[in-house]
Amino acid sequence: MAGTQYRGSEITDVDQFLKDADGLGSEREKEIGQHIGYRYDVNLVPDYDRITPYLQKYMEVMGWDDLNWLEDVHMGYEEGAPAVFDRNNNGWIRVPDTLDLPDNQQDRDMIARELLLKFQMSDRHPLVALRKAYMKF
């Protein structure tokens, strides 16, 4: 269906790109040797019934009534492993394999938001060093 799937292979299973890292479903993908489009549904809006206490606390601290920028954060899959795209880093950050993944994308997205938030607010985020090097004011 338009808007939820891609012109490549359809996303039918939450573990699809964990089981099949290449994700070559359609004839066109097999021909070009790469998956077309994202490996998760970027348009999936959050289900607030599944929000975690940490994310709820973050909303309170920031004075927001919803997840705000975290609404655009999802758990993705890179090279057969779960990962989250960090826009401040312009790269994927891996989810440790010791972490048990829930069986649905909504709960996985909440975990992705927690992990990314903790990472971005930590001293080990590359933006800390970048600011020291380049900040002009």
Task: Note every long-range contact of 101-105, with CB atoms under 8 Å and residues 24 or more positions apart, other chains counting.
Answer: 101/75, 103/14, 104/14, 105/14, 105/40, 105/41, 105/44, 105/74, 105/75
Task: Specify the residue, 13 or 54, whose C-beta has the smaller distance to another protein.
Answer: 54
Nearer to another protein, 19 or 50 (CB): 50
d(CA 18, CA 79): 8
Which residues fall within 8 angstroms of residue 57, CB to CB, at 6 or more apart? none
- Choose which of 12, 33, 103, 134 interacts with another protein (CB under 8 A): 134
Token pair 């799937």 is at which residue? Answer: 5
The nearest distance, CB 13 to another protein, in angstroms, is 19
CA distance 104 to 82: 13
Interaction with another protein in 42-81: which residues (CB under 8 A)? 42-48, 54, 57-58, 61-66, 68-69, 71-72, 78-79
Amino acid symbol at 95: V
**30 touches another protein (CB under 8 A):** no
Under rule CB under 8 A, residue 10 binds another protein? no
Which residues of this chain interact with another protein, rule CB under 8 A?
1-4, 6-8, 26, 28-29, 32, 36-38, 42-48, 54, 57-58, 61-66, 68-69, 71-72, 78-79, 83-84, 87, 89, 91-96, 98-99, 115-116, 118-124, 127-134, 137
